[in-house]
Structure 1
C-alpha cells in the first residue's frame, strides 16, 4: 500500500509539470497566431478615436464655425489631456507596479468606444458664446478622447512589457492599425469629397464598434495572462526557462552596463572620467552621467518625434495642402497614407538589417524624419505658394513627406521599446517603458504649444 502511494506521488510530481509545459507548447505550436492577433486588435484602441477625428477633418472643416483653425483648437483641447499620463510617470516604481493595469486598460478601451458613439451624436452641435458660435461639444469630446487615448501609452506598453518579448512588436502593429483601419474607412467614405458614401456620424459609430471588439480582445488576453500563456519561452521546459531567463538577464545586464559606462549613447564617443573631473567638477559630472544614460536619448527621441507627429504636423498640414488643387483630397491622402505607413514602419522592425537593439540604431531615422517634417513645415509657411504648386502632381511631395514621417515614427516608436528590452534588466524595464511613454506625452504638449503660438496667436500661416 505504501509503495503504491509512493509510486502515485512520484507519478504526480513528474507528470504535472510535463502536462503544463505540454499545454503551453500546444498553444504556441497550434495557435501561435491567436495571441498575436489579439494583441493587434487590442492595440487598435490606443489612438483610434483621435485618429478618427483627424481623418474627418476634411469633412468637419466645412461644417464647423472654426473652419481651418479647427485642428489647432483640437490640439489646444488635447494639450492638457497629456498631463494626467505625464504625471503618472512620476509615480515611484513600487506605486507603478501596484497599479491594476488590467482594470485601467478595460476602462480606457470602454471609454474610447463610448466616446466614439457620443461623437457620432454630437460632433456638429454648436453653442453661441459672446455672439459667436463654437463647437463646444466637439471640443469637449476631443478633450475626453485625448484623456482616454493619451493614457493608453503609459499602461499598454508597461503591461505588454510583462509578457513575452515578441508581443511588443504586435502591440506596435496594433497601434498602427488604429490609423490604418479608420483611414481605409475614410477612403471608402470619400472623406473630403462633395459626395460622401456615409456621414461622419456613421464613421464615428463604426469606430465605436471597432473599439468594442478591441475590448473583447483584451479580455481574451487578460484570461491568457492569468493562465500563464503569454509569458516568455512557454514552449520550453521549466529548467530551460530558468536557464534561458538567467542567461538573458546576464546578457541584458552586461549590455546595459556597457552602454552606461563605456560610451555616450548614439554617438559612441568614449568618456574619460578623469577628463570630466578636470573640466567641470560635480555638476558637469552629473550632466555627463545623464547624457550617458541610454534612456535619456531614447526618451528624447520619443519626445522629438511626438512634438512633430502629434503637434506641429497636425496643425500645419491643412495649410501645407491648401494651395494645391483639390486641397481637401490632398489632405485626406496625407492622412490616409500616413496611417498606412505607421503600421508598416512598426511591422518591419526586427527584419534583417532593421534590427533595433542599440540607441545608435535610431540616428538615421531621426535625420530622415526631421528633413521630411521640415519640408511639410516649409510648404505650410510658403502657402498659398507651396512648392510645386503649379506642377502637375506637385502635391505628391507633401503627401510623400507625410508618409515618410509616419512610417519612421512607427518604426522608431516601436523600436525604442524593443531597444529597452535589449539593454535594460527586468527590474528597470517597466520604469523605462513608463518614461518612454511619458516622453511621447511631453512631445505632444510641446507640439501643441507651438501650434497655439505660431498658428493661432501669431497667425504665421495662411491658407488663401
Structure 2
C-alpha cells in the first residue's frame, strides 16, 4: 500500500508545475515562431506572476477564515482549469492579434495566465493537502513536482526542438546580387500541438491521482499521529536538531528532555532570526529561479546556438527532480549548509546573468567550451537551488499547516518580485540585445 501511495503522491505532484514547465522547455521552438522573439520569456514570467491574486486570496482566507476554504475543492477546481487550458493551448498557441499597433501572441498569453493560476495556487494548496499524509510522502510529492519539469524536458529532447543550421541566402538589390548567411530552423520530429497534448495528458493524470488519494481512506492512516503541532516548540526542534536520526514519519528527538524544553526561555531571538532567514531564503531562491534568470535565458544561451539553449532549458529541468531525489535520501537541515549552497547556486546564476548582459557576444561565444560552460552553469544553478527549496519545504512541513501555507506565499512573492524587476529591463530599457547565431560577428 505504501508503494501505491508513493506513486499517487508523485503523480499528484506532476500537476503542480507541468504546464508552465512544459511551456518553458518548448520555448526554443516557439520563440522563433511567435512575434515577441527573444523577449517572449520575459513576457511569460510576468504573466505567470499575474496569477498572484489567486494565491493571495487563498492565503488570506486560510489566515483570517480558517476552515472556510476546503483545500480539496480548490484543488479539484484548479486541476480542472489546468486540463481545459492545456487543451485550448493545443489549438490556439500560435494565434496572434494586433495590440497597440504590433502583433502579439494574445491567445498564448491568456492561456498562460490561466495555467499560471493553476500552478501558482498549487503552492498553497497541494502541500497543505499533502500534510495530511505521513511525512515520508512529502518528499515523494516533491519528486513528482520535479518530474513536472523533467518529463516535458525528455519529450522536448525527443522532439528535437529548435535545431538549426546556417545556410547561404542570395539577395537582389537593384542590379546587384549578393549573398548572406541566415539561420534556417529544422522541423521538429513532431509538432508543438502534439507536445501540448502531452501536457494535457499529464494534467489528467494528476487530477486522477488526487481523486484516488482523496477517495481512499487508508491513504490517511496514522496521518494525524505524524503531524507535528503548529507551535514554536516544534519549529525550534526541527531546526536545532538538524543531525537527529529520521525514521519515516520525521525527525526523532535525541533526548526526550530536548523536545519538552521551552524554546521561548532558551532563545526566542534565535528562533526569530532562523525563521526570518528561512523565509528570506525561500523568497530569494524563487526570485532567482522563477523570475530573474528565466526572463533572460534566451539572451544567456541563444548566442551560443539553438542547441545550447535547448539543452540548457531541458537539462536544467532534469536537475530539479535529481535534486529532489538526492534530498529524499541525503537530507541536511543545517541552515548554514543551505545558506552556503544558496550562495554557490547564486554564483552560477550570476554567470548566466552576466552572459545575458553581454549578448549577443558573451564569453567564449562560437566555441564548444562556451556552450558546455553555459549549459553546466544553468544545470548547477537550478540543481543547487532546487535542493535548497526541497529542504526548506521539509523543515517547514514539521512546523505545521500554516508554515506550509506561508512557504507557498513566500515562494510566489519572491517569484513576483523577480519577474517584475526584469520585465522593464528587458522590454522597456532594452538592456539585453538579441542577435542572429549565424550572422552576428563578435570580436575575438
Q: TM-score range by the shorter chain?
A: 0.7 to 0.9
1:274-423 pair list within 5 angstroms = 289=269, 292-324=272-304, 327-351=305-329, 354-422=330-398
Is contact 1:359-1:419 (8 Å) kept? no
1:36-55 pair list within 5 angstroms = 36-55=6-25
Distance 2:371 2:379 in 1: 13
Is contact 2:133-2:219 (8 Å) kept? no
Structure whose CA Rg is larger: 1
TM-score where L is the length of structure 2: 0.81
1:54-69 pair list within 5 angstroms = 54-69=24-39
The 1:387–1:97 alpha-carbon spacing in structure 2 relative to 1, beyond 3 Å, is farther
The 1:254–1:302 alpha-carbon spacing in structure 2 relative to 1, beyond 3 Å, is closer
Distance 2:367 2:394 in 1: 42
> Secondary structure, in 3 states, of the residue corresponding to 2:22?
helix
1:15-164 pair list within 5 angstroms = 31-93=1-63, 95-164=65-134
Q: 1:453 maps to which residue?
A: 424
Is contact 1:38-1:221 (8 Å) kept? yes
Consecutive unaligned residues of structure 2, counting only runs of 5 or more, are 164-185, 241-267, 436-444
The 1:96–1:393 alpha-carbon spacing in structure 2 relative to 1, beyond 3 Å, is farther
Deviating beyond 4 angstroms after TM superposition, the runs of 4 or more aligned structure 1 residues are: 248-252, 257-260, 288-291
How far does residue 107 in structure 1 lie from its aligned partner after superposition?
A: 1.5
Consecutive unaligned residues of structure 1, counting only runs of 5 or more, are 1-30, 235-240, 261-287
How far does residue 69 in structure 1 lie from its aligned partner after superposition?
A: 0.9
| Richer in helix (by share) | 1
Is contact 1:78-1:142 (8 Å) kept? yes
Is contact 1:358-1:419 (8 Å) kept? no
Distance 2:351 2:147 in 1: 26
Q: 1:263 maps to which residue?
A: none
1:157-306 pair list within 5 angstroms = 157-193=127-163, 194-224=186-216, 227-232=217-222, 253=233, 256=236, 289=269, 292-306=272-286
Is contact 2:12-2:206 (8 Å) kept? yes
Distance 1:223 1:455 in 2: 47
How many correspondences in the alignment? 386
Is contact 1:169-1:346 (8 Å) kept? yes
How far does residue 131 in structure 1 lie from its aligned partner after superposition?
A: 3.2
Q: 1:272 maps to which residue?
A: none
TM-score where L is the length of structure 1: 0.78
